[in-house]
Every structure is written in C-alpha cells, then in structure tokens.
Amino acid sequence: MTGIFSLAGKVALVTGASRGLGRAMSLALARSGAHVVVNGRKPEGIEATCKAIAAAGGAATPMAFDTTDVAAAAAAIDRIEAELGHLDILVNNAGYGNGRTASETSDAQWSEIVEVDLNACFRLARRASLGMIRRRWGRIINISSVNAHIAREANASYCAAKAGLEGMTRALAVEWGPMGVTVNAIAPGYMMTPDNMETPLRSDPQKRDRFAQRTALRRWGQADELDGAVVYLAGDASAYCTGHVLVVDGGMSVKI
Ligand SMILES: NC(=O)c1ccc[n+]([C@@H]2O[C@H](COP(=O)([O-])OP(=O)(O)OC[C@H]3O[C@@H](n4cnc5c(N)ncnc54)[C@H](OP(=O)(O)O)[C@@H]3O)[C@@H](O)[C@H]2O)c1
C-alpha cells in the first residue's frame, strides 16, 4: 500500500482482535503497513491473528489483557511505547452487549456493558493520547454500532454505551484536534463473522433474513467490510476528518 493509504512506520493497537471484526481490521491495518499489536483476553485467539498477519507478510505483536482491567490497560499502552517506540493508532474494538431486556438487567449487568463498551475505551484513549499529543500525530478509532442510533429490543445497556462512545468521540476530537490527534468512530450494521454465527439473530434463518431485508443492500455485512473504513481513518487519507461517525451498515439506518 502506498500514498495516502499507507500506514508504513505506524504502530496500531486493536483491542478485541482475537476473532471477528477485530481480527479482520488487524489484518487490514497490517496489509497497509502498520505494525499491529493484537489484543484480546485469551492468548489462543490473539496468537492465531498474529499468525494470519505474519502469513500475509505483516508484522504483529500479541498482547493479552482485559481492557476493563485499569492497571493492565495502562501498562499495555506504556509497554507498547517502550518496546515499539510509539503508539500511533488505537482501535477501541473490544465490546459486546448482553441481550437482556431492561427489566432483566441488574445494576451490575448494566455496569459491565458500560464498562467494556465505554469506560475502558475512554481510559485507553486517554492513556494513548499522551504519546500521540507529544508527537503531534495520532488516530483514535472507536467501534460503535448502528445501535447507537437505532434501537433493538433487549439491548438498552449496549445502545446507551455505544451512544456514549459516539458522544465521547466528538468531545475528544474537539479537545485533541489542536494537538494533531483525530478521533472518529465506525458504526457497523449487522455483520456476519465466522465466530458469531451461533447468536440467536444469526442462527435463526427467519431473523437473519428479516435483518437482511432491513438493509438497502438486502444482505448482512461480512467481517472484512470494515477494512476500507478503518484503513481510511487510521492514516493520512483522513487527515481532515475528525469527530465523525462513519456508518457502515449496508444502508440499514437510511431505509424505512
Ligand atoms: N458483529 C456485529 O454485527 C457488530 C455490529 C455492530 C458493532 N459491533 C461491535 O464491533 C466490535 C467487535 O464485534 P465482534 O462481532 O467482532 O465481536 P466478537 O466476535 O464477540 O469478538 C469480540 C472480541 O473482543 C474480545 N474481548 C471481549 N471483551 C474483552 C475485554 N474486556 N478485553 C479485551 N478483549 C475483549 C474478544 O476476545 P476474548 O474473548 O479473547 O477476550 C474478541 O476478540 C464490538 O465492539 C461490537 O460491539 C459488532
């Protein structure tokens, strides 16, 4: 990859990259020349992502930690800066919902979702921004969801956390813009990845079809269909773009 889409010489951290969208985005960033630090909680999956990157001719470093572990997350950013020299791109991707109705959701279950989908992303961005601001160049990319804009039943904590993540994206963009750091979000629609086929939405053919028909393109997204968005937001191609939420949903959110 050359020109404005090249990420040669950049170091990226992708959280939640042991499978799914995080793995696909890690591969895309590595193919564009970035050295990718691959995170997840379990070592097996992140090793597999690193192997896939190496097989594609890229460079990767595995780094297992739980993004909600305050000390471990801060230590990971510091370790990247110390061992790889700089952290230029942070992709806050680790996240999930719990599929519970509001009346079934305890305070602890609400807090768990807000912790992983919002609080942990803030702490990682704040820590990563220190070096980025010092070097006057940085890219923070938060993985949101169409559920920040349109709601699905049994999903209140996730919708709230992702909407908060988008508010945070705009606020940090304004705060760190003068220091050369852009902050953007990607809001994917419903994506089919090899690892999440067993969720009720995906395994039930009727539900699967209902969600496909909800999109302008009449199909689910594939895991690698965020590749273009993440590479664009990670490099010089998006130099004048900040505080933006790039919706990648096959037209779900514009269709009646
Ligand atoms: N797939 C979709 O349709 C869709 C749509 C809209 C938005 N999104 C968003 O896109 C992101 C990725 O989704 P996905 O479908 O690829 O999810 P996934 O297949 O469930 O993968 C989630 C990844 O996050 C890791 N993870 C979970 N909690 C973590 C934590 N506390 N610390 C570190 N790693 C953690 C998991 O690895 P370990 O288990 O090893 O930790 C795994 O690598 C999420 O933020 C999700 O909300 C997904």
What is the per-residue pLDDT for 202?
Answer: 85
Q: What Cα–Cα distance (Å) separates residue 3 from each residue in 6, 88, 104, 231?
A: 5, 17, 51, 12
What is the per-residue pLDDT for 193?
Answer: 86
Task: Write the pLDDT tens digit of every residue in 120-169.
Answer: 999 999 999 999 999 999 999 999 999 999 998 999 999 999 999 999 99
- Residue 32 to residue 89: CA distance in whole angstroms: 13
What is the per-residue pLDDT for 199?
Answer: 78
| Ligand 1: nearest atom to the Cα of 24 | 16
Best residue among 93, 166, 219 to mutate for probing ligand 1, ranked by most atoms within 8 Å of CB: 93
| H, E, C per residue of 165-201 | HHHHHHHHHHHHHHHCEEEEEEEECCEECCCCCCCHH
In the reported structure, the alpha carbon of residue 26 is separated from the centroid of ligand 1 by a whole-number distance in angstroms of 13
- Residue 36 to residue 250: CA distance in whole angstroms: 27
Residue 225, pLDDT > 70, answer yes
Residues of the chain with pLDDT > 70, as a percent, come to 99
For the full predicted model, state whether its pTM sits above 0.85: yes
In the reported structure, the alpha carbon of residue 176 is separated from the centroid of ligand 1 by a whole-number distance in angstroms of 26
- Beta-carbon contacts of 86 under 8 Å, excluding residues fewer than 6 positions away, are 11, 131, 135
Residue 203: pLDDT band (50, 70, 90) is confident
In the reported structure, the alpha carbon of residue 134 is separated from the centroid of ligand 1 by a whole-number distance in angstroms of 30
| Ligand 1: nearest atom to the Cα of 97 | 47
Full set of structural domains in the chain with CATH: 3-254 (3.40.50.720)
Task: Write the pLDDT tens digit of every residue in 40-51.
Answer: 999 999 999 999
In the reported structure, the alpha carbon of residue 94 is separated from the centroid of ligand 1 by a whole-number distance in angstroms of 4
- How much is the average pLDDT of 59-79? 98
Strands 245-248 and 191-192: unpaired
What is the per-residue pLDDT for 1?
Answer: 67
Question: Reduced to 3 states, what is the DSSP secondary structure of residue 24?
Answer: helix
- Angle formed by the axes of helices 43-55 and 20-31, to 10°? 30
Task: Write the pLDDT tens digit of every residue in 23-33.
Answer: 999 999 999 99
Q: What residues flank ligand 1, with Cβ below 6 Å? A: 15-22, 39-42, 45, 66-68, 93-96, 116, 143, 145, 188, 190-191, 193, 195-196
Tokens describing residue 190: 């419903």
